[in-house]
Amino acid sequence: MEDVLDNNKIKESLQQQINQIVEDNEKQYNELISYIENEKKQIEILKNKTKEKKISINRITHEIEANTVLVTELKESVMEEEKKLDEFPKLIDEINERLNLILKNFDSSKLEYNTVKLHKDYIESEWKKKLETLYNLLGFEIILQDDKIVIEFYNIQMSDPQKKYRATVTLHNGTYEAIETAPRLNKFEDYVNSLNKGMPFTTFCCLLRKSFKELK
């Protein structure tokens, strides 16, 4: 009888131990599952942050590319205008030579003095005309407004030199897009298409200016 009781106690004790082991295993399993779920959430958060960073990097890269293209175009435009300005030092030398020639033959007589003055006035007049020509040639300004490039011209009409003429384009991934002109130019989109095909930016501006001048 005592042996039977001892066996029952042993069984009961073993069952309790088994139950405790199962309970401990279930607890560890649940903790492991909770840990894995939390890690999954953290991984998703990192994925989303990485995706946002990639989007931000791509946006910044596109902006840098657009600005690089614009700076290159502006540099080419400046170089073209500098070439046109090369003739003005030659003009200054010519004026100085003529003035020196007149001064060499100058004496105290009123007639010769008046002759020199007339020549000087003529030279100054010619120089002012050249400066006005240069002013008309360079009579435009490039304005950056957000993602738009506004090319503003003046000195188009002699009757109203302060009147502004505008052409607006955008630049996306190295490609120009026509937005509007004020006043309207029928060939504006054709000019922008030519610009995208490799036409120099300076030539593009010259065509716009010429078209504005031809408006009535």
Q: CB of 115 within 8 A of CB of 104?
A: no
Q: Alpha helices, DSSP H only, in the chain?
A: 2-85, 87-104, 110-137, 188-196, 201-214
pLDDT tens by residue, 66-76:
556 655 665 66
User: Cα 81 from chain centroid?
Assistant: 20
Ranking 8-17, 101-110, 117-126, 156-165 by mean pLDDT, the lowest is: 101-110
| Percent of the chain residues topping a pLDDT of 90 | 18
Residue 170 in contact with residue 66, Cβ under 8 Å?
no
pLDDT in tens, 67-117: 566 556 656 665 666 666 566 566 656 765 665 565 555 444 445 556 656
Query: By mean pLDDT, which of 10-19, 64-73, 102-111, 153-162 is the weakest?
Result: 102-111
Paired tokens of 174: 């190295």
According to the model, what pLDDT value does residue 134 have? 47
CA–CA gap between residue 116 and residue 114 (Å, rounded): 5
Confidence bin at 192 (pLDDT 50/70/90)? very high
Lowest mean pLDDT among 114-123, 178-187, 190-199: 114-123
Q: Which residues of 84-93 are buried (b: 16+ CB within 10 A; e: fewer)?
A: eeeeeeeeee
Neighbours of 172 (CB within 10 A): 11
Q: Is 138 helix (H, G, I), strand (E, B) or coil?
A: coil
pLDDT digits (tens, 9 = 90+) for 36-76: 777 778 777 877 777 777 776 777 666 666 556 655 665 66
- Taking the mean position of all CA atoms in its chain, how far away is CA 159? 34
Task: Please give the biggest Cα pair distance in the chain.
Answer: 160
Only one residue has tokens 């408006």, namely 215
Mean pLDDT of the chain: 74
CB 170 within 8 A of CB 117: no
Residue 177: per-residue pLDDT? 94
Answer yes or no: pTM beyond 0.75. Answer: no
d(CA 30, CA 28): 5
